[in-house]
Amino acid sequence: MSTDPWETLRAATRARVGLGRAGDGLSTPENLRLAAAHAQARDAVHAPLDADAVVAALGERAGPVVHSRVADRTEYLQRPDLGRRLADDHGLERGDHDLAVVIADGLSARAVHDHAVAVVDALLPRLEGWSVAPVVVAQQARVALGDDIAAALGARMVLVLIGERPGMSSPDSLGAYLTFDPRPGRLDSERNCVSNIRPPDGLTYDGAAEVLAALMTESFRLGLSGVGLKDTGTALPPVAG
């Protein structure tokens, strides 16, 4: 049996606790682990989205690939405003849909590659009777780009699945942002977010789909999203064993 009092806590979290020290600093192994985590986070921010692979994984559910008004990744990081607006040559066709689903690279294409299609797979069967537009894949995208996309598609609600800002232990975290009556100019306070979708260390696909389906159903009933819409569920996601 270990005599390290921090071992139990370290086994229960990915946070860096009880690291020990060498003199006034971290030990060499911990410094190397920290540097590796930092490199993973930087790689996640700069890695490009493989839109063709996402479209292939979506199969017949896939719609077009669109772009924001950003020219390249450098501009994406420097000009968030351009990442929120849809390029003029988007090719989207207006229809009559309850829901538009947008898969967006955001700040972690890795999160999209690993988790986005699985969330779609778990969610859509829970939306029986909904009219869902073909899933749009968006490059160099911020969350608010979904408002432009949904408005172009004629959708009453948009769900944006997007790579979240990488942390030092979570370079692959996917976020889901829900907005009722999406249109350009919507505020962040008018959205709901389900965050940290990344099994086995975060929320499971089924867990995220259950919360999202409940929020979306209530959003339609109330005719709103954001701070006025609350997740009233009491079930917590299972603890990874």
82-135 pLDDT, tens digit each: 999 999 988 899 999 999 999 999 999 999 999 999 999 999 999 999 999 999
Residue 202 structure tokens: 């975060």
CA distances to 109, 114, 163, 206, 216 from 81, rounded to whole Å, are 19, 27, 17, 33, 27
Q: Is the pLDDT of residue 237 over 90?
A: no
Q: Per mean pLDDT, which range of 35-39, 68-72, 119-123, 141-145 is the poorest?
A: 35-39
Nearest-angstrom CA–CA distance, 30 and 36 = 10
Q: Per mean pLDDT, which range of 11-25, 106-120, 176-190, 214-228 is the poorest?
A: 11-25
Locate tokens 């559910």: which residue? 61
Cβ-proximal residues to 33 (8 Å cutoff; 6+ apart), any chain: none
158 - beta bridge partners? 100, 179
Span 187-191, mean pLDDT? 94
Nearest to 107 by CA among 26, 173, 197: 173
| Domains of the chain listed by start with CATH number | 51-222 (3.40.50.11240)
* Residues 169 and 14 sit within 8 Å (Cβ to Cβ): yes
Cβ neighbourhood burial of 136 (10 Å; 0-12, 13-18, 19+): buried
Query: What residues form the annotated binding site?
Result: 143, 164, 193
Q: Is the pLDDT of residue 3 over 90?
A: no
pLDDT averaged over the chain?
Answer: 89
3-state secondary structure of 60: helix
Q: Per mean pLDDT, which range of 33-42, 78-87, 188-197, 220-229 is the poorest?
A: 33-42
Q: How confident is the model at residue 1 (pLDDT cuts 50, 70, 90)?
A: low
What is the reported pLDDT for 239?
A: 42
- The whole model's pTM is what? 0.86
175 - beta bridge partners? 162
Query: What residues form the annotated binding site for adenosylcob(III)alamin?
Result: 143, 164, 193
Q: Is the pLDDT of residue 19 over 80?
A: no
What is the reported pLDDT for 238?
A: 47
What is the reported pLDDT for 162?
A: 97
Q: Are strands 100-104 and 157-163 parallel, antiparallel or unpaired?
A: parallel
Cβ-proximal residues to 10 (8 Å cutoff; 6+ apart), any chain: 17, 18
Q: How far is CA 160 from the centre of its chain?
A: 7
